[in-house]
Homo-oligomer: A and B are copies of this chain.
């Protein structure tokens, strides 16, 4: 399941310009390097579940995870995906509460864990780091509030368009123009907030209209403007 490996460099994470670690000093960077623990996870492995007590926050060195809440009849509500350089679990550390989401591997991944104390210490010592954390939190909060509005006011079709666009923005496309995220219809439904069958029908409709070209779990966006039209007002 999970293989330990404490000797991973953080370059992937620290060097990304929007990473939360971008402003660490040399000293802080190397102290972080020695304080963290890393582990490999296989697809479908779980880092922690809703209700677990966690001892630190996590950073993705390689791979993609999905972060979700479990609702009625075990139905998952995907909150977000996270990939290289993204952090998760810090919300629970900051509020000193139990985890309020479950984190599962979408593909084989390498995840680093930084102890809670280290987070609090960095917050105290490095004001730029604090700013970054506050910005990440603020951005997530704004996104969450926007989703509330959208799920409440938009149709399934509009929300699906928005979902495809945001996957496009976050993950980009490969050399054949397919989104860099293999995603099941069921998972699309769990983001959009609808039944799997409705997600399927919406995707089929987009396909029929020549807006996208799905190949199983890979999707190519052909007319992104058509998707944008659907969500502008």
Q: What band does the interface of chain A fall in when counting residues whose beta carbon is under 8 Å from B? A: 35 or more
**Known A-B contacts A79-B145, A100-B145, A124-B127; A193 and B94 likewise in contact (beta carbons under 8 Å):** no
Q: Are B77 and A138 in contact (CB under 8 A)?
A: no
A224 CB-CB contact with B under 8 Å: no
Contact between B153 and A71, CB atoms less than 8 A apart = yes
Within 158-192 of A, Cβ neighbours of B (below 8 Å) are at none
Roughly how many angstroms separate A151 CA and B72 CA in the complex, as a whole number?
A: 12
The chain B residue sitting closest to A73, CB to CB, is: B233
Interface flag for A14 (CB, 8 Å): no
- Residue in B75, B94, B130, B145 whose CB lies within 8 Å of A101: B145
A92 to chain B, nearest CB (A): 8
Complex contact A135–B94 (CB within 8 A): yes
> Does A1 count as interface, using CB distance less than 8 angstroms?
no
Chain B residues, CB < 8 A from A79: 145, 148
Q: Pick the contact of A144 from B71, B127, B141, B194 — CB < 8 Å?
A: B141
| A62-102 CB contacts (< 8 Å) to partner B | 69, 71-73, 75, 77, 79, 91-92, 94-97, 100-101
